[in-house]
Amino acid sequence: MKQEDYLDSLRPETSEKVKEMEVYAKEYNVPIMEPLGIDFLMQLVRMHSPKKILEIGAAIGYSAIRMAEADSDSQIVTVERDSARYEEACKNIGEFQLGQRVKILHGDALELREKIAEDGPYDMLFIDAAKGKYEEFFNLYAPLLTEKGAIISDNVLFKGYVADDEYATKRMAKIAGKIRTFNEWLANHPDYHTTIVPIGDGIAITVKK
């Protein structure tokens, strides 16, 4: 915890609009990336300079907006299934004046591949949606990546329960089990290299072999 507090103390100041989104997410229990996790994701975007990013799981648009901030040349397509969160994401993207760079689709990502493919290929895939569907999202959208494309998966340590779910609730332990299965599948995939970084809620970085 002391280490995380120290790293938090080094984080750059964010805009008031970003802070408002973070406060809103906390108040209404909207799952957005943890502070150190979003900083890490933004750094990956800066390093990789992806022309096109596909995000599975927009929520209220927080990650898409922060990725757009990280690289002013990136175009982002993001997908959200929940109607209320989709509307909130549209509002936030508009307030940040990112409507020309961030395209948000409403619907289940597992059913929108044809529409999503229209804007491909993508240089980065960011998965942050239903935890039990990660492998399906990966298999469906990894083929839409460019040769050097990267796949980023969030929450792969899930509050520490993936490594040790002894004190997890039954529901949390079930989710942790699904993520554990995904992590093992990723680690043993014959076509990809994966590294899991224990920052935020755990971030997996995957590239083609």
| Binding-site annotation, residues | 33, 63, 80, 108-109, 128, 154-155
CB-neighbour burial class of residue 127 (10 A; exposed 0-12, middle 13-18, buried 19+): buried
CB distance 206 to 150 below 8 Å: yes
Helix, coil or strand: residue 166: coil
Is 20:27 a contact under the CB 8 Å cutoff? Answer: no
Q: Which residues are annotated as a binding site for Mg(2+)?
A: 128, 154-155
Which residues does the annotation place in the binding site for S-adenosyl-L-methionine?
A: 33, 63, 80, 108-109, 128
How far apart are alpha carbons 57 and 128 in whole angstroms? Answer: 5
Residue with the two structure tokens 């799952």: 31
Backbone φ and ψ of 86, nearest 5°: -60, -45
Instruction: Give the pair of three-digit tokens for residue 57.
Output: 């799981």
